[in-house]
Amino acid sequence: MSRVEEQQRADVGSQEFGDTVPPIDLITPKVLRLRSRSRSRSLGLRVLSPLVLLFLWWGLARANWLPAGSLPTPYTVVKTFGTLFSHDLWGQIGDSLSLALFGLSIGVTLGFSLGLMAGLSRIGEELFDAPLQMLRTVPFLALIPLFVVWMGIGELPKVALISLATTFPMYINTAAAMRNVDRRVVEAARSYGLHGVRLIREVIFPLSLPGLLTGLRFSLSLSVLALVGAETIASNGGIGYLINQAEQFQQTSIVFCGVIIYAALGLSADLFVRVIEKLALPWRAGVSVR
């Protein structure tokens, strides 16, 4: 087709559709701005719900709508706390904490090591993933009778139970975090000469750190749950020992004190991981949804 024919066709097209192009309305994009919230307001909202529950509990007890034998009043629980503190409650809490931390350290170390091998190596995933996924579905509290038969009624079955409970969440989150590191980032790092341990330390580990901290949070929560079951194995000290003794003598207020201490330990563990996240991942404040 000659250039003259092309010009003629262009002229015909312009006559059919018109010479003028309708204007396009452009919408100016809105810039998202981070809304800074005061820490006092955030803390107040977090404390509001427990205070409402405490006030509701106090109101029901004041109106005599709660059975006195099975549900103590807040005043009774506070008075019981004072009595327990005068009888070495800190020592009982220390025994429970030492047991939980010892089992947690073993479980987190084992779960991180297995997750590291399964996440970085296909052979490691083929060797460890299937048996660990099968064991993960077994309730760890159901293994208490077996641990007693195998290891006796000393401290060993308690540590083994807490270690087993905390291994699986750390393994799953570590393996998933290592596998989900962007391959393009790894290839770019290799093109700059990073290989082996240096590649893991400077690229893969920082990118998988959010998943690792999530696994640590789950492991800390499960360590408290496993502690409750572990301290039912012929304990001579700890919060579980106090609860078992109070159950035998129907001292409901002491049972409530033990439950509150377990809840406080779980909340403290969660806050501990949150502080680590803020210190280790300061960049998340600028990229997270809220």
Angle made by CA atoms 183, 129, 141, in degrees to the nearest 5 = 130
Neighbours of 46 (CB within 10 A): 9
Place of tokens 């049972």: 255
- The Cα 151–Cα 143 span in angstroms is 12
Q: How many residues does the chain have?
A: 290
For residue 151 the two structure tokens come to 């290891």
d(CA 99, CA 96): 5
User: Could you report the per-residue pLDDT of 192-227, keeping only the tens digit for each?
Assistant: 888 888 888 888 888 899 899 999 999 998 998 888
pLDDT band at 121 (very low <50, low <70, confident <90, very high): confident
Domains of the chain, first to last = 78-282 (1.10.3720.10)
Comparing 285 with 276, which gets the higher pLDDT?
276
Residue 17 confidence class, pLDDT cut points 50, 70, 90: very low
pTM of the entire predicted model: 0.77
Of 17-21, 75-79, 218-222, least confident by mean pLDDT is: 17-21
- How far is it, in rounded angstroms, from Cα 257 to Cα 118? 42
CA dihedral 105, 110, 115, 120 (to 10 degrees): 110
